[in-house]
Amino acid sequence: MNELFDVDVEDKDRRKGAFLWFRTKFSGAQALAIGAASLLALSTPVVLLASRNNSPSASVEITVADGGSMTSTSLGDDATTSLVSGNGKKSNSGKKPGLVLPTRGAAPTETTTTPATTIATNESSTSTVAPPAPPIVLGPPSTNAPGSVSRTIAFGSISPVVKSYGDVGFTISPATPSAGSGAVTYSSSNIAVCVVDAVSGAVSIVSAGGCEISAAVPANDIYAPAVTSAKVLVSVNKAPLTVTASSASIAFSPWRYVVTAEYSGFVLGENSSVLMKLPKCVVLRSSDFETSSNDRLTYSTACSGAKSLNYDISYVGGVLAVLNRK
């Protein structure tokens, strides 16, 4: 209790001594001015900002009622004071630029700089700018598979060809595809009658009969194969062959005479060996005639029955004359 009383007495003595010191130092007018400044400072909000991170500098901002602010920055031994008024004007004093804090309540303004474009024109020079290349337009991909486009092939003439066995060969009318290219080949439907050269279309006759010649073209990278729908019909007729019965003049006994056949019309160097069946030749007599009789002086001979694949056979009869009736 005594200790507390002693502290209170000391505090009062200290304040009394300070008051006496203030009166001896300042005159009445000075003391009044200092008091008015103190009242003004107490009536205005004061914000004190000081660095406490062992930095030698400290900054104090004092905002006055008219919106102005004053910032004091101490950097070591140098001090800089910056005063910002309410209208945004600022004055600096001191040796070094001070640290200026933004005015409370005003957002910092941004400055946007638009680069200027300068075009220099030289009237004495001419510059030619090439036009841009046209865009590359890609067509749709091909939907045709290799050998898928259909086409046809046809002969220049499809008139039937009529020949006979033994005639020389001939060349068929050329066939041409309707589109595209390719090696045209020829073929025969019956090589027993006619044979055709696959490349040239030359036809050789082998025998009598009939055949059809067709042409074809193979597929290529685009077009499909094709075969002639209308074929060339070749007809080969049989060659004419004449068989003639032999004629003779004998003294007597006509029944003993042997009739022979004579041929006319074989082709390609052929002879009777190519016949499927040889003819039969005889002396003709009437029903009332006896072979031992010598009543008649002349008799007929004839051949018949021959067969051939390539020959159309006809017959000619002969005459047998008997000189003596005895």
What is the average pLDDT value for the chain, to the nearest integer? Answer: 74
pLDDT at residue number 184: 96
User: 164, 162, 141: which is closest to 312 by C-alpha?
Assistant: 164
User: 282, 238, 246, 278: which is closest to 262 by C-alpha?
Assistant: 246
Give per-residue pLDDT as tens, 238-275.
999 999 999 999 888 888 899 999 999 999 999 999 99
Q: What's at 133, amino acid-wise?
A: A
| Domains in the chain, CATH or no CATH each | 2-88 (no CATH), 153-237 (2.60.40.60), 240-322 (2.60.40)
pLDDT at residue number 59: 47
Tokens of 316: 């000619």
Percent of all residues in the chain with a pLDDT value above 70, rounded to a whole number:
54
Tokens of 250: 């004998």
Mean pLDDT across 89-108:
48
- Locate tokens 């082709």: which residue? 267
Helix (H, G, I), strand (E, B) or coil at 109: coil
Residue pair 244/303 in contact (Cβ under 8 Å)? The answer is: yes
Mean pLDDT across 32-57:
51
User: 209, 197, 202: which is closest to 235 by C-alpha?
Assistant: 209
Say yes or no to pLDDT of 128 above 90: no
- The Cα angle at residue 138 between residues 135 and 144, in degrees rounded to 5: 165
Q: In what order do the strands lie in the sheet with 311-316?
A: 261-264, 239-245, 311-316
pLDDT at residue number 181: 87
Which residues are registered as beta bridge partners of 187? 214
pTM of the model: 0.52
Say yes or no to pLDDT of 86 above 50: no
User: 304, 302, 298, 296: which is closest to 318 by C-alpha?
Assistant: 302
**Alpha carbon distances (Å) from 323 to 125, 249, 297, 300, 302:** 134, 7, 7, 15, 20
Residue pair 318/260 in contact (Cβ under 8 Å)? The answer is: no
pLDDT at residue number 104: 52
Strands 58-63 and 46-47: antiparallel
Residue pair 280/303 in contact (Cβ under 8 Å)? The answer is: yes
Say yes or no to pLDDT of 152 above 70: yes
